[in-house]
Amino acid sequence: MDTVPAEVEITGTPNYVEAWSAARIPGFVPAVLKRWQRERGRLPARLYITLCPQVEINARGGLPDRVRELTDPRLRCRHFTGCHKPYFVILFTSEDAAERQAEVQQLLAWSESYAVSIEPERLRLEFLDATEDLDDEAEPARPGRTLQELLRTGELIHILE
């Protein structure tokens, strides 16, 4: 597809996702696709896209290794919303794009995924899935002592000597 239309039609997004969806930010998805096309070349008429706040990736120590394995580095980018919030965006264009996207979706907190059709007059985004907070197991409680305990025993002073 040579041009990316500005009009976006999104279908199937549940109400609870609409409340935080980046895809619903006016102009965001067209801007991402136009930028990608400007920098990398022509996009296929059908592709898949996953959007995830960069802050969520940072909070978990970076991009999970499995996401790196499942995605093409040339199809990943960071793009800012209109309110200057950075988003990590992944495009999927391979024959197994739907399967790869489904697996990646489960690894990224507060992410949303869509099947995208680039038509002459509009972008059609069909909601596929969203992941809010990841179901990480709680870390086991770490035994430790308070600052007061360390002062009382003198261990803190010993460390500083």
Mean pLDDT of all residues in 80-107: 90
Integer Cα distance of 79 and 28 in angstroms: 9
As a whole number of angstroms, the distance between CA 102 and CA 97 comes to 8
Residue 1 resides in a domain: no
pLDDT band, residue 62 (cuts 50/70/90): very high
Expressed as residue numbers, the domain containing 58 is 8-160
Do the domain assignments include residue 3? no
Between residues 125 and 73, the one the model is more confident about: 125
On whether residue 96 sits in a domain, the answer given is yes
Look at residue 82 in the predicted model and tell me its pLDDT.
73
2 within some domain: no
Give the span between the Cα atoms of 36 and 157, in whole angstroms. Answer: 56
**What is the number of domains present in the chain?**
1
Q: Determine how β-strand 123-131 pairs with β-strand 8-11.
A: parallel
The pTM score is: 0.79
Instruction: Classify 18 as helix, strand or coil.
Output: helix
What distance lies between CA 135 and its chain's CA centroid? 16
93 close to 38: Cβ distance less than 8 angstroms: no
